[in-house]
């Protein structure tokens, strides 16, 4: 009994939407914009996460990283992002690095000291270049491929550097930089090696090695009056089974040497995929919020247009009631109409949002993520918007007194 | 034929309807007692504001009385839910309005098929039944016209076809000829009396005393009460309209053709 009636409602709704084509299209567009912006934000941020978790998977599941700062999770992490890397002194010391190396089960460990500094060659200047001071183990752990020359090792001079292929072009105008020198922080460095183009600026080290210069830890310390400012320690366990024990031991050891203060975090597996910079989360959250606001605006548009439709069709409502429509029938009639607007807008928004995300991603180094979750969120929210903002007009239609309605003239 | 039935279709006992509150309270229907048998053609007459339309709305379950009882087919409707009322409207009652109330964005056949949708009938069956109903009113060639393309008389015939499409036991008409010229009025009245002859119960509100000639029973209302209730002998009903119509009707070819087809049908 109910099935043909639903089909009838859908046909009827499509009919009446077609009659007011212009405003139906405009209202649909309103919802589509909201859903599109949500899709863009989610697919791009999902894309970044996918890139990083893909790397973690590719590097093997025996990697853990130690980062400074109190582990922040949940809502507080979103609302109160800390700027631990950029301006504060790191809580991880060189001693911690040495302690970690001594822990049983640790295959290799590499500290990362990230320095932003201007790089000057005889011909060019790269302002705000990235310098990473580390130990020879990094090339192995992060799987940095060399194109020419060699990575820093235990015998190389502290005034030697390995640079990324793009930095090489920026700095020297050539991709054959070996033997050339550049200055930074008042010191001169000789290039002894160059990486292959990695083209992977988003990774668990938060360093774009194509644009970075890698120094020895000793070389990096000279930027900070001889002390190491370690932003991250990459740890590789001997095998996967050892990793939980290694993490436990690192946590215990560092807590002990930090006098009980838990001012660091040890992350492994998918946790590493959380980008190191918490600003990323804040930006995603704010963007999602803005997208949600535009969706609400789209919803208000639906409600507006549905209220107009209800007012215009007062007599029709009265008549439908007189010929046997129950209040429920009327509610469903108008709800179906707003649902068609919103779900069609959702579909349109999802497709165009994904298109926009792809367009944006041509300027970025990763592709937007296309997961069923994002599709479900986009379509789910649009359906929710349709119900939430269509319900009031539908209830208003159903509550109309048939006698009053039939008396009204248009 | 229907006279012998023991159970009246409609029975009202002390039906009272009031509007407003306190000092502004107004009694529109004042303890109305009424019995309507199956197959009656009733016209309700009376000055404006005497409560005719309110009575019709209550009979059609569009409105509820404040006091008193209303039995439809022997069942009290006072305690029924409004969705139950909707179902009764869908299955037992057909409305004809003064202002036709066709939905402008729907074609003639879709308008006629509308009540069937709420009976849960499939679209194909609905349109077929609507088409059959329109055939009875000689509107087959107008099925896919839009309401605004029809004359007033045609619109009202469509509205009557709609009221009858779900075979209601009661047809309620609120001044069905109020917006029509006298020529169209008589066509409509012919249709209604034709429906009546097929055994339907018709309750019609009107201002026009001429139209009472079609009725089997005339009720006059005044200030919310029934002032007079006269039954016209059935024989008289059958002959009266024909006589009066013949003298009043302008004789156009269309109408003679129409009455011929009607005669054939009988």
Closest-CA distance, B255 to chain A, in angstroms, reads 30
ipTM of this complex prediction, to 2 decimal places: 0.81
User: CA end-to-end span of chain B, whole Å?
Assistant: 18
Check whether A292 has a pLDDT greater than 50: yes
* Arithmetic mean of pLDDT, B217-246: 69
How confident is the model over A121-141, as pLDDT tens digits? 888 888 888 899 999 888 888
pLDDT for A72: 53
Residues near A346 by Cβ (< 8 Å), separated by ≥ 6? Answer: A31, A32, A35, A378, A379, A381, A382, A383, A385
**What tens digit of pLDDT does each residue of A310-342 get?**
999 999 999 999 998 999 999 999 999 999 999
| B20 backbone φψ class: left, alpha, beta (φ>0; ψ -120 to 50) | left
Beta-carbon contacts below 8 Å between A and B: 71
Note whether B64 contacts A: Cβ–Cβ < 8 A.
Answer: no
Single out the residue of A28, A46, A25 nearest to residue A36, CA to CA. A28
Residue B20: CB atoms within 10 Å: 10
- Which residues make Cβ contacts (< 8 Å) with residue A25, sequence separation at least 6? none
Higher model confidence: residue B163 or residue B251? B163
Q: Is B125 on the interface with A (CB under 8 A)?
A: no
Contact A106, A236 (CB under 8 A): yes
The β-bridge partners of B72 are: B10, B75
Quick one: angle between helices A372-399 and A327-361, nearest 10?
A: 150
For B63, nearest residue in chain A (alpha carbons): A403
pLDDT in the model for residue B259: 46
More confident of the two residues A74 and B77: B77
B236 in contact with A, Cβ within 8 Å:
no
Give the model confidence (pLDDT) of B142-160 as tens digits. 999 999 999 988 999 899 9
Residues of B in contact with A324 (CB under 8 A): 86-87, 89-91, 115, 118-119, 166
- Tokens 């619109």 belong to B155
CB-based contact, A220 to chain B, within 8 Å: no
pLDDT top residue among A248 and A410:
A248
pLDDT of A347 reads 95
Binned at pLDDT 50, 70 and 90, residue A60 comes out as low
Task: Identify from B105, B109, B163, B174 which residue to disrupt to test chain A contact, counting A C-beta atoms within 10 A and taking the largest count.
Answer: B105
Q: Say what the pLDDT of residue A394 is.
A: 95
In A126-237, alpha helices (H): 137-141, 165-172, 217-221
pLDDT at residue A274, rounded to an integer:
58
pLDDT score, position A24: 93
pLDDT at A273: 60
Averaged pLDDT for residues A200-208: 76
Residue (of B249, B93, B96, B60) closest to B178 by Cα position: B96
Q: Check whether A275 has a pLDDT greater than 80.
A: no
Q: How many angstroms separate the CA atoms of A132 and A230, rounded?
A: 10
Q: pLDDT value at position A340? A: 94
Q: Taking CB atoms and an 8 Å limit, are A4 and B123 in contact across chains?
A: yes
pLDDT the model gives residue B201: 92
Preferred mutation among B55, B57, B62 to probe A, highest tally of A CBs within 10 A = B62
Radius of gyration of chain B (CA): 19
**Mean pLDDT computed over every residue of chain A:** 84
Per-residue model confidence (pLDDT) at position A37: 92
pLDDT of residue B108: 94
Cβ atoms A131, A171 nearer than 8 A: no
Nearest residue to A99 via CA among A258, A224, A243, A218: A258
Q: Would the CB atoms of A328 and B120 count as touching at under 8 Å?
A: no
Q: Do A322 and B60 touch (CB under 8 A)?
A: yes
Q: Which residues fall within 8 angstroms of residue A75, CB to CB, at 6 or more apart?
A: none
pTM of the model: 0.70
Return the pLDDT at A87.
53
Chain B residue whose CA is closest to A1:
B120
State whether A327 and B120 contact (CB < 8 Å).
no
In the predicted model, is pLDDT for residue A78 greater than 60? no
**pLDDT-above-90 percentage for chain A:** 29
**Chain B residues within an 8 Å CB radius of A409:** 99
Looking at residues B81-88, what average pLDDT do you find?
A: 90
- Report A:5-34 residues touching B (Cβ under 8 A): 5, 7-8, 11, 15-16, 19
Q: What pLDDT does residue B265 have?
A: 45
Q: Does B119 touch chain A (CB under 8 A)?
A: yes
Judge whether A300 is closer than 8 Å to chain B, CB to CB: no
Distance CA A214, CA A164 (A): 8
- Grade residue B252 by pLDDT with cuts at 50, 70 and 90: very low
Render pLDDT for B11-68 as a digit per residue (tens, 0 to 9).
999 999 988 888 888 888 989 999 999 889 999 998 888 888 899 999 999 888 988 9
Task: Tell me the percentage of chain A whose pLDDT exceeds 70.
Answer: 90
Q: Residue A326: list chain B partners with CB under 8 A.
A: 82-83, 86-87, 118
């Amino acid at each position: 009994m109910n099935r043909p009636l639903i089909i009838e409602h859908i046909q009827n709704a499509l009919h009446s939407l077609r009659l007011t084509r212009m405003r139906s299209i405009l209202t649909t567009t309103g919802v589509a914009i909201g859903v599109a912006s949500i899709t863009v934000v989610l697919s791009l941020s999902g894309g970044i996460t996918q890139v990083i978790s893909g790397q973690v998977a590719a590097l093997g599941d025996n990697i853990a990283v130690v980062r400074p700062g109190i582990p922040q999770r949940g809502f507080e992490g979103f609302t109160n992002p800390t700027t631990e890397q950029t301006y504060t002194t790191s809580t991880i010391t060189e001693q911690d690095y040495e302690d970690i190396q001594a822990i049983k089960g640790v295959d290799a460990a590499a500290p990362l000291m990230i320095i932003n500094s201007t790089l000057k060659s005889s011909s060019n200047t790269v302002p705000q270049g990235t310098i990473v001071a580390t130990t020879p183990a990094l090339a192995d752990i992060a799987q940095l491929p060399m194109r020419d020359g060699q990575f820093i090792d235990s015998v190389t001079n502290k005034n030697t550097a390995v640079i990324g292929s793009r930095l090489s072009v920026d700095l020297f105008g050539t991709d054959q930089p070996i033997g050339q020198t550049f200055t930074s922080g008042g010191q001169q460095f000789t290039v002894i090696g160059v990486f292959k183009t990695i083209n992977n600026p988003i990774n668990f080290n938060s360093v774009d090695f194509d644009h970075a210069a890698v120094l020895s830890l000793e070389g990096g310390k000279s930027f900070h009056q001889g002390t190491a400012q370690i932003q991250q320690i990459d740890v590789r366990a001997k095998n996967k089974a050892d990793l939980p024990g290694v993490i436990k031991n690192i946590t215990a050891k560092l807590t002990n040497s930090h006098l009980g203060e838990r001012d660091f975090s040890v992350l492994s597996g998918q946790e590493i995929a959380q980008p190191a910079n918490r600003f990323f989360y804040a930006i995603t959250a704010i963007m999602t919020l803005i997208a949600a606001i535009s969706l609400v605006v789209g919803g208000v548009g639906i409600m507006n247009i549905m209220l107009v439709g209800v007012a215009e069709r007062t007599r029709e409502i009265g008549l439908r009631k007189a010929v046997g429509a129950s209040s429920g029938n009327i509610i469903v009639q108008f709800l179906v109409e707003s649902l068609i607007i919103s779900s069609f807008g959702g579909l349109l928004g999802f497709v165009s949002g994904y298109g926009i995300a792809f367009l944006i991603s041509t300027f970025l180094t990763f592709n937007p993520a296309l997961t069923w979750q994002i599709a479900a969120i986009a379509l789910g929210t649009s359906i929710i918007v349709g119900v939430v903002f269509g319900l009031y007009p539908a209830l208003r239609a159903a509550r109309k007194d048939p006698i009053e309605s039939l008396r009204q003239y248009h | 034929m229907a006279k012998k039935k023991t159970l009246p279709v409609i029975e009202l006992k002390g039906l009272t309807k009031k509007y407003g509150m306190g000092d502004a309270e107004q009694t529109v229907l004042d303890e109305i007692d009424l019995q309507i048998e199956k197959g009656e053609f009733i016209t309700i007459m009376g000055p404006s504001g005497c409560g005719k339309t309110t009575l019709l709305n209550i009979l059609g379950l569009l409105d509820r009385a404040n006091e008193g009882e209303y039995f439809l087919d022997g069942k009290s409707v006072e305690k029924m839910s409004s969705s139950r009322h909707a179902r009764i409207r869908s299955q037992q009652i057909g409305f004809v309005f003064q202002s036709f109330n066709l939905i402008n964005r729907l074609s003639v056949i879709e308008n006629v098929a509308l009540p069937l949708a709420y009976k849960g009938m499939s679209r194909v069956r609905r349109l077929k039944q609507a088409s059959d109903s329109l055939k009875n009113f000689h509107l087959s060639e107008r099925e896919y016209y839009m309401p605004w393309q029809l004359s007033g008389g045609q619109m009202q015939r469509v509205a009557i076809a709609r009221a009858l499409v779900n075979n209601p036991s009661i047809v309620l008409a609120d001044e069905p000829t109020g917006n029509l010229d006298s020529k169209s009025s008589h066509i409509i009245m012919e249709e209604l009396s034709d429906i009546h002859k097929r055994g339907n119960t018709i309750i019609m509100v009107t201002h026009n005393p001429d139209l009472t000639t079609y009725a089997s029973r005339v009720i006059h209302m005044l200030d919310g009460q029934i002032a007079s209730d006269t039954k016209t002998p059935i024989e008289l009903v059958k002959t009266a309209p024909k006589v009066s119509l013949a003298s009043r009707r302008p004789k156009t070819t269309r109408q003679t053709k129409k009455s011929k087809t009607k005669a054939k049908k009988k």
